A = this chain, B = another copy of it.
């Protein structure tokens, strides 16, 4: 039987610590993870497979160091479309998908329509290339941006505390 989603599934406390360990460091060996979680290597192997098959793990990735790669600028940008109701949204969303400097894009309720998380080399690239390109997308009204001064925290670890008890 397959674990399909949150409702069907019973994640016991081992699974939860396992997921926590995986999103902290996916390159630890099953042995090492097992020691942290108090499980044998074979158990870890079995459970990890189940968790993957169950759709809890999206994928495994390497997180790179922006500074080391010459990516010195991070910004949050807020895009407002000119008109709502049409398909400006669709055009915008597909275009955004093809801009590698845009790491994240969310539609939101509020003054602006979209929030964009952008990383790029420097301010010149940000304004002259990335923001310019976004401005030119059909339906885009205004863009406002916040330049990030300092990174206090940047994590990909989802909170799992609500599952536990």
Q: With A76-B106, A152-B106 as given contacts, are A66 and B158 in contact (CB-CB < 8 Å)?
A: yes
Q: Which residues of B contact A70 (CB under 8 A)?
A: 6, 162-163
1/0 per position for A40-64, CB-CB distance to B under 8 A? 0000000000000011111111111
Given contacts A58-B63, A68-B56, A153-B97, contact A108 B148 (CB under 8 A): yes
**In the complex, A134 has a CB within 8 A of chain B:** no
Contact of A147 among B102, B108, B161 (CB under 8 A): B108
Can you name the residue of chain B whose Cβ is closest to the Cβ of A99? B159
| Interface-facing stretch out of A80-88, A117-125, A135-143 | A117-125
Please count how many residues in chain A sit with their CB below 8 Å of the partner chain's CB atoms.
70
Task: State whether A58 and B65 are in contact (beta carbons under 8 Å apart), knowing that A108-B149, A159-B100 are contacts in the complex.
Answer: yes
**CB-based contact A54/B68 at 8 Å:** yes
Are B64's CB and A61's CB within 8 A?
A: no
**A26 and B153 in contact, given A5-B68, A6-B67 (Cβ under 8 angstroms):** no
B157 touches A100 (CB 8 A): yes
* Alpha-carbon distance between A102 and B154 when the two chains are bound, in angstroms: 9
CA distance A114 to B146 in the complex (A): 10
**Which residue on B lies nearest to A65, using beta carbons?**
B58
B58 & A125 in contact (Cβ 8 Å cutoff): no
Please measure, in the bound complex, the distance between the C-alpha atom of A75 and the C-alpha atom of B68, giving whole angstroms: 29
